[in-house]
Structure 1
Amino acid sequence: MVDTFSTVLKILLRRKTNSSPVGGKPIPQKSLSVVDITCLGLSTTIGTGVYTILAHTAREYSGPSIVLSFLIASVASGLAGLAYSELCTRFPSGGSAYCYVYSILGELPAFLIGWSLVFEYFLAVILSTKSITNYMNYLLNDTFANSFTYNVFNDSNGGIFFDIPSALLLLLIGYVLTQNLKNSCIYNNILVFICLLITVGILLSCLSLADCDNWTAGPGFFPNGIVGIFSGAAVCLFVFNGYDIIGLLSSECRHSYQNTTSAISLTFVLSLMTSFSLSIAITLLVPFSLLETNASLIKIFVTRGLNGMKYFVIMGAICGLISSTIASLLSLSRLLYCLSNDGLLFTFLSKYESNSGVAKCATIVSTVVCAITCIPLQTTTILNFIGTGTIFAYMTVTLSILSLRYCRTENLPSDSCEMLLRENSYIDIRENSLHNITQSISDYYLNKRQTILKSIANDSQLIEELPNDNCLSETFCNCIQSDRPLNCSHHHSYGSLPTARTLSVELINQTVITSVSNLSLTTRQEPTVKSEKFVLVILPIMMATMFIMAITTVHMPNLLPVGIQWSLQLFSTLLFIVICVCVALMTGQPRHHVSTSNNSMPCIPLLPICSIWLDIHLIVCLPYTSWLAFLIWCLFGIFVYMSFGVWNSVQALDGLQPLDSIECLETIDGDDCNAHEDYQYINELALIETSDESQEFNICDIIVGSSV
């Protein structure tokens, strides 16, 4: 019985061991720049966040304190952004929270996170598209509402609005996305730049007419108290899902391990500035009770008598919301492609066209399903469902960071191209290396590889003595694909971060980071079996205590009489003490230390625990409708996984039929690498830049030992 349970647990928690293209599948085009993925990450905030979520949250939850709600949401997203930055650097092959959790925590948790993000992106696509229709309907004096409203059930309150225009618009956007990824990103960049310019104009107009009485009159600045602020922050966090969008498209980006972290930092700064400033300006312009869900920004200017501003606002709304639709639909299709590529969903969704960089089947299916679903759904219904998937994704990404630091070395995941990088001892392989080859070097075999590398570098000090084991087989090919530095080390491990520093968000000064990060109650440097099991026990206890404390502080005061509120405060204090003790015990456990000068998350475990704590509190503050929709969707997802995914997973097939050959890149002339019984040949073209000069070589026919 125990053996059966252990076997089932190993199957459900098996981890992804190879993130590179397998089975002859095409390699990503890598045509995107840092501007492209930054605009994609920013699209949801300046589109759905500004023109839909802001007014709805201020009216229903926070009131003028929506300013603080956006600030709390940005803090939660910023902490998650630190985790995304480290994981994007450690796993340069790219991926969303689903891919990172798959490599670190296991298959079933990864599928549930991926499945919940599918639901979140699905709702984001529908919400942004229907918001466009709402703005156009207001501008056209309810023409859409009068033309497509049908009284199906003989309702005395009116009929149901069947949103045919949204479906047609969504089909048009889906068609554009199926043509070419780079062109779609160019269109999105133009829309984002226009929207940002219009947003600045709206901000200046609102501040010129600001009335401070709108923050103090009536219910005041806190109409629903602290609970209203956190409830609004839980909804606002939905618009800060740009990090996951960036991660999904990072495999298509040049120099992904550098550009991804820069894009995450830029997205955080621009999203915070845009949402925070506009929330101040709009709540100062009109009382929050006058804000409406549909076409809110146009109506507030009409209310203040600025009728000419509605044409200016409608242009920004259309640009921002179309951009949000592009980013969400592109992310949805790419996530379905990742799930299918791993064997967890139907195989036909994994078809990828390397010439255009588009997963066409996944894009078509996503577009059609969203177009059909958006016809009967109403905007208010969608707003009651959003938020849960994004918060769970951010929380699991932070949990993955803790797992990496506190698990034993032999349990660390190893990305197929991840290697330990030595300071000043690596060769940088550029992304254009496969297209700039002018000469070739052939007939160099495995026993001469040290001579080859030294001759390329022209400096024996640059490359140290190489080990005799195979270090150029799969690592060499995958490093070329993922733009990672190639370095041979005497031992394979999880890998440190590149020494080159990229644009990152500095939240704490270096002195504090160093002192807190090195805090430990033991002199042992590496995690042991005992410490790993201890953290595995203490972390769920701490998270359960956080959840109980959130329930106690958010929902219990409404159920108990005022006279015994002191008991809740006492109980919350005891729970807080338990959490502090758990944090202290966890801090004293040995962990892997990573240099804080790179893109690693600082202050382990304090910052990850703060992030998890905040995420748990925000989850509790979500409306019950969001919880109900999320649980139903997850139950459906478990059924899909148990009936299809667990049997067709690529990891399961790899376990039954190990690959007899490594994956090699195609040559320029189209010839593939030929696998032999005992040897494989890497016939690849590469541009290797040394520290002194740049030379071009054709490295071919390098024999590497078989892994079998």
Structure 2
Amino acid sequence: MHNLLSRVLQKASLDDYISKDKKMERSLTSKDLILMGVGAVIGAGIFITPGEVAAQSAGPGIMISFLIATLVCSTSAMCYAEFSSALPIAGSAYSYGSIIYGELMGWILGWALILEYMLAVASVASGFSAYLQSFLSGFGLKIPTALSGYFDPAHGTYINIFSVLIVLLIAAILFIGAKSSTRINDIIVVIKLLIILLFLAVGFFYIKPANWSPFLPFGMKGVLHGASLVFFAYLGFDTVSSAAAEVKNPKKSMPVGIIGTLIICTILYILVSVVLTGMVSYKHLNVADPVSFALQVVGQGKLAGIISLGAMAGMFTMMMMMIYSISRLIYSIGRDGLLPKFLGKVNAKHRVPTNSIVIVTIIIAIMSGFVSLDKLISLVNIGTLIAFTFISLGIIPLRKRDDIKDQNGFKVPFYPYLPIISALLCLLLLSQISIDTWIFALIWYAFGLVIYFTYGVPHSHLN
């Protein structure tokens, strides 16, 4: 028993990871990372979340909710920035955990992120399909019912064909290499940002200050509850850290990419909240498409179609960056032998982990095309917050490691208090998650531990 315990607590070598990751091309810059982060964070949620939370929890005070959520997120973001600067390797929290805590904790964090990314992408793919079908119906185009939804013969649906096709398209783009795929992401992110700015520019002229009164109809309690809801609108900035092995100057670029993403997204979320609640009373914003609804109320219905394009662009880049991240995560676990080693191979021509992209694509395509994910999507929050908690606390042992030199890299300020505060804030949000969701999560982790001890330990490169 003692031998097994010492075995699973064995720590991975940073030098070994850096050596293996040399097969990947270091071509990304700070600008690429920021656009990757904005692509992952700003999805359809910016057109939906502010309206729902304003109507149900915070009123016009939602702008304060976003500020509070930013403070919570920024503490975790700074911890990720220090890790990605000190450990410029693929795998994000999985690799960081393996080096700082040992292989078992690295596996648990990796397993948590696999669940987070796969469920997030599969659910967004379903949302993209719904938006696209609605958009096409405006031109009189309607696909057969059998191809319009997940497997549910009782209602005549067998496969959500657009969900499957969009996942396959994204995988094809990612095959051509990190630099080329990020250029495509950059273009779509710029289009998405222009559409958001168009809404802000048009909506500004229809603001009625009276709609901001009362500013806190649900009190500060409502604002704080709203902050716990909009916190999840920021999920995705951690995907930037998965690109560390493909960045030209990770010590400089990784912190800029992670923190820059958070700043830009915060500004956009707050501006959309200000304009949206100024255009229409918060009482009327509890609808599926509050931004389009607000434009129709002020007589700008023709712009609603453009907003739909913005939402689809947002979902596309979010899925693209999430699939990018999970393919690097699966590659890292395969690289270490904890999953079949073919997953840790890098394509010599395009210098990307094609095998892991293929496996991830197949699983996500099946999930989004055939399965209803409504009851499982809250699991995304657990995986993310567990990773945030351990990465925050991990700053303390990271600083004490003599073998990891990071003199010129980013450092979390107010050490060690800020990392501890970050972990406590994550635990506070974890305590708000329902028992049912925790039961699903524990089943997932138990399944993961079975795989780790039956396959991972015997095949691990550390063994």
Q: TM-score w.r.t. structure 1 length?
A: 0.60
Aligned twin of 1:126: 122
Among 442, 446, 456, the alignment partner of 1:631 is: 442
Among 188, 191, 200, the alignment partner of 2:188 is: 191
State the alpha-carbon separation in 2 of the partners of residues 353 and 151 from structure 1: 35
2:195 maps to amino acid: I
Contact 1:103–1:413 at 8 Å: present in 2 too? no
State the alpha-carbon separation in 1 of the partners of residues 445 and 79 from structure 2: 24
Contact 2:149–2:370 at 8 Å: present in 1 too? no
Structure 1 residues 224 and 375, CA gap change in structure 2 (3 angstroms): farther
Contact 2:24–2:245 at 8 Å: present in 1 too? yes
How many residues align? The count is 459
Structure 1 residues 23 and 273, CA gap change in structure 2 (3 angstroms): closer
State the alpha-carbon separation in 1 of the partners of residues 361 and 184 from structure 2: 18
Displacement of 1:191: 0.8
State the alpha-carbon separation in 2 of the partners of residues 376 and 73 from structure 1: 34
Aligned twin of 2:454: 643
Written as runs of structure 1 = structure 2, the 5 A alignment for 1:262-281 is 262-281=256-275
Aligned twin of 1:393: 387
SS of corresponding position for 1:325: helix
Structure 1 residues 291 and 625, CA gap change in structure 2 (3 angstroms): farther
Written as runs of structure 1 = structure 2, the 5 A alignment for 1:186-335 is 186-216=183-213, 221-223=216-218, 226=221, 229-288=223-282, 290-291=284-285, 294-335=288-329
Among 617, 639, 643, the alignment partner of 2:428 is: 617
SS of corresponding position for 2:360: helix
Displacement of 1:339: 1.0
Among 173, 177, 198, the alignment partner of 2:174 is: 177
The answer to whether the aligner puts 1:76 opposite 2:75 as a matched pair is no
Q: Which runs of 5+ in 1 are unaligned?
A: 415-493, 499-597, 653-708
SS of corresponding position for 2:169: helix
Among 388, 403, 407, the alignment partner of 1:497 is: 407
Among 347, 353, 372, the alignment partner of 2:341 is: 347
State the alpha-carbon separation in 2 of the partners of residues 50 and 265 from structure 1: 19
Which piece of structure 1 moves more, 624-633 or 114-123?
624-633
Contact 1:134–1:295 at 8 Å: present in 2 too? no
SS of corresponding position for 1:357: coil
Displacement of 1:253: 0.9
Residues 408-441 of structure 1: per-residue CA shift (max 9 Å, x gap): xxxx363xxxxxxxxxxxxxxxxxxxxxxxxxxx
Contact 1:39–1:189 at 8 Å: present in 2 too? yes
Structure 1 residues 629 and 235, CA gap change in structure 2 (3 angstroms): farther
Displacement of 1:267: 1.1
Displacement of 1:106: 1.4
Among 350, 364, 367, the alignment partner of 1:370 is: 364
2:197 maps to amino acid: V
State the alpha-carbon separation in 2 of the partners of residues 111 and 261 from structure 1: 25
Displacement of 1:150: 8.8
State the alpha-carbon separation in 1 of the partners of residues 57 and 115 from structure 2: 23
1:629 maps to amino acid: F
Residues 134-171 of structure 1: per-residue CA shift (max 9 Å, x gap): 222333348459563699565xxx66684221111111
Contact 2:40–2:239 at 8 Å: present in 1 too? no
Contact 2:150–2:372 at 8 Å: present in 1 too? no
Displacement of 1:348: 1.9
SS of corresponding position for 2:347: coil
Aligned twin of 1:510: none
Displacement of 1:120: 1.0
State the alpha-carbon separation in 1 of the partners of residues 158 and 278 from structure 2: 33
Over the matched positions of the two proteins, sequence identity in percent amounts to: 26
Aligned twin of 1:42: 38
Displacement of 1:190: 0.6
Contact 1:180–1:357 at 8 Å: present in 2 too? yes
SS of corresponding position for 1:169: helix
State the alpha-carbon separation in 1 of the partners of residues 447 and 354 from structure 2: 25
Higher helix share: 2
Residues 370-419 of structure 1: per-residue CA shift (max 9 Å, x gap): 111112445744553332222221111110012234x5xxxx363xxxxx
State the alpha-carbon separation in 1 of the partners of residues 305 and 441 from structure 2: 38
The answer to whether the aligner puts 1:361 opposite 2:355 as a matched pair is yes
Contact 1:332–1:366 at 8 Å: present in 2 too? yes
Aligned twin of 1:677: none
Displacement of 1:254: 0.5
State the alpha-carbon separation in 2 of the partners of residues 283 and 91 from structure 1: 43
Contact 1:129–1:325 at 8 Å: present in 2 too? yes
Residues 524-583 of structure 1: per-residue CA shift (max 9 Å, x gap): xxxxxxxxxxxxxxxxxxxxxxxxxxxxxxxxxxxxxxxxxxxxxxxxxxxxxxxxxxxx
1:78 maps to amino acid: S
SS of corresponding position for 1:375: helix
* Poorly superposed stretches of 4+, deviation over 6 Å: 22-25
Contact 2:211–2:277 at 8 Å: present in 1 too? yes
Displacement of 1:89: 2.1
Written as runs of structure 1 = structure 2, the 5 A alignment for 1:157-176 is 162-176=159-173
State the alpha-carbon separation in 2 of the partners of residues 644 and 357 from structure 1: 27
State the alpha-carbon separation in 2 of the partners of residues 286 and 600 from structure 1: 43
SS of corresponding position for 2:462: helix
State the alpha-carbon separation in 2 of the partners of residues 97 and 189 from structure 1: 25
Displacement of 1:56: 4.8
Aligned twin of 1:29: 25
Structure 1 residues 92 and 150, CA gap change in structure 2 (3 angstroms): closer
The answer to whether the aligner puts 1:86 opposite 2:82 as a matched pair is yes
Contact 1:40–1:242 at 8 Å: present in 2 too? no
Structure 1 residues 118 and 288, CA gap change in structure 2 (3 angstroms): farther
State the alpha-carbon separation in 2 of the partners of residues 295 and 377 from structure 1: 24
State the alpha-carbon separation in 2 of the partners of residues 179 and 68 from structure 1: 42
Among 93, 97, 121, the alignment partner of 2:93 is: 97
State the alpha-carbon separation in 2 of the partners of residues 62 and 379 from structure 1: 27
Among 312, 325, 336, the alignment partner of 2:330 is: 336
Structure 1 residues 29 and 152, CA gap change in structure 2 (3 angstroms): closer
State the alpha-carbon separation in 1 of the partners of residues 158 and 57 from structure 2: 26
The one of the two structures with greater contact order (alpha-carbon pairs below 8 A, sep at least 6) is 2
Structure 1 residues 612 and 150, CA gap change in structure 2 (3 angstroms): closer
